[in-house]
A and B are shown apart, each in its own frame.
Chain A
Amino acid sequence: MSTLKHQIAEVIEKEPVALFMKGTPEMVMCGNSYRALNALTAVGAPVTTVDILPDPRIRQELSEISGWPTIPQVFVKGELIGGADITEELLASGDLQRKVDEALGLERAQDVKVVALAVDS
């Protein structure tokens, strides 16, 4: 099985839009994760979510990769966009729409999905 860090890096690299959050879209466990998810769906982005709560190592490894200390974290095409505040600010300014349109094209899927990481016990 690949290491946790490798799995996280793979999600960041391969998923068009990755959202590392507390909880899942069906059961969001944190207001800021909710804000980020809403901003992304508002611009019609497909969102791949990863719940960081099952194991504290997920957040640890993620922050080592991204250099970003807090949750949520939003990536578009492998590039860190920021947390909830930045994502909302970019939504308000129209930059989030532009960024997603440019990175993913206008004819894109808009589904929200969940990826569970395999964590060694």
Chain B
Amino acid sequence: MEAETIHALLEQAFPDAAELDVEDRTGTGDHFQVTVASAAFEGLSLLDQHRQVNAALAAPLGDGSIHELRIRTRTKGIA
């Protein structure tokens, strides 16, 4: 799976994201590090922020095309 495909799915889910980054950690198209900074995370626990990212990637997570997913979320504007 291409990093661009993951990126597109995240863009759909977080259209207002201030930062959206997908890194193929191993170059094998199945280990990804994603970073999402969005105002949509404001007031949400880390758990719920990650839940939203997992939900956006539910299809590739479910069919096994993402073998490993590392998630970093940030509230917009906060480093």
Contact = CB atoms under 8 A, between A and B. Distances in A.
Contacts of B58: 69
A55 interface: no
Interface residues of B, number: 13
Contacts of A89: 46
Q: Is the interface of B mostly helix, strand, loop or mixed?
A: helix
A83 interface: yes
Contact of A82 (B50, B61, B68, B70): B50
B55 to A, nearest CB: 9
Interface string A53-80: 0000000000000011110000000001
Which of B47, B51, B58, B72 lies at the interface centre, i.e. has the most chain A CB atoms within 10 A of its CB? B47
A81 interface: yes
A10 interface: no
B71 to A, nearest CB: 5
A32 interface: yes
A86 interface: yes
A103 B71 CA distance: 26
Interface string B35-61: 000000000001100110010001001
Interface of A: 32, 67-70, 80-86, 89-90
